[in-house]
Structure 1
């Protein structure tokens, strides 16, 4: 016996800050939606963020996790399908999507908000940390020798944090440093050794040490930016020959490859798209 197909206005693939914001706006506009999230909890990378979101107006001390909790409380989570994935999509009076649970959803519009993952040419290991997160530093003892790889804000922020914990920090950038002036000024007041123009790096964990170009460290931390989700490659019918997307398919958040991504930019994209979708749905 075939399962009944749910008919909705918008299917949101991805339950991070972009997907949640879009769902909240669609609710306010009187539109029906569902979120499909592959993790067992909403929030994406933000749910692990202990950092103050200094750029959120009027909430300068709120952490990413705290901000996320307020966002989650603003939507009806019965419409969020967790630990599930979209396994099939066909074109049938909109987009007919089959979920890993066997549920079938037909949506008039399809929005991908799957974010991005930390990029690293090196595999994470016990002493090779990939991507942000202060909790990852719990095992690093003061006086440890740590190599930080990257030249952007994430790399410098974590290098400065490790320096404050009295670690001996060396910073390796593939090109020049490209962090904000505030971080660069803080860096100048430290003893952190900076090595630029290092495109070729060999990194290997060897027992209780890490070897970086034959230099020995206790830990290495990699901050080479993010790679947007490649989920669209699973559904080629959603792409057009000119590399555009089929009408009715939209991207928000890190999947848009914005040059200066932020929580506020993603939320702004979600708000703008919600109003656009409401207009198009008529």
Structure 2
């Protein structure tokens, strides 16, 4: 049984214009074309194909994709298996997107909180003089987060000899993700000899300083402020720079990173 293009249009819900376009794209080819009139006729078997095309178009499949699908799966069971596989892939993608969405929400929330803290912060860039200090340090290379191992070793080996806040000396002039050059340091009361630890007098002098309030991951905002100040004043930084951890995670409790206090100190060449 053959249906005219008008009849087939009513059966499938596809306009004649769309049926002609699908013919041109070789997606839904008529079963017969009258040589004299050019009229298109469709067999009953084409109805299911038309419904599949319509369903896939609603799911935003391109005509090229639909053409590939229909050419590779003549058997309806094979096509259903393929669609099941596509559904599974989409479900997996949705899970990934949910994880990404949650991560983006956390980033957005953290950024909003960081901006709020920066607006409310009363800390300002200042110039001051820092005294020379006797320190014990462990020079390290790697990720900045590895400094905790250095501080842990200093704490175990020095104990009651420590007399101040821990701090980090940065020997790089740039940020390095994996091979940063830094030194975990502690002020100490007197000279002692411990294997793997450098004990020496750390030179003081005039410096530009700024106290950062918040997580370590957001120190970049405060670095921007202090470096802008130094550039505006035409000052020259003397390496290494310092991060003094006034308030941070404790040995047992991490505490709230929003309340961490870190002083950035950059000594200036006279």
TM-score normalised by L of structure 2: 0.19
- Structure (1 or 2) with the greater helix fraction: 2
Bigger Rg, which one: 2
Q: Which has the higher contact order (CA 8 A, sep 6+)?
A: 1
TM-score with structure 1 length normalisation?
0.18
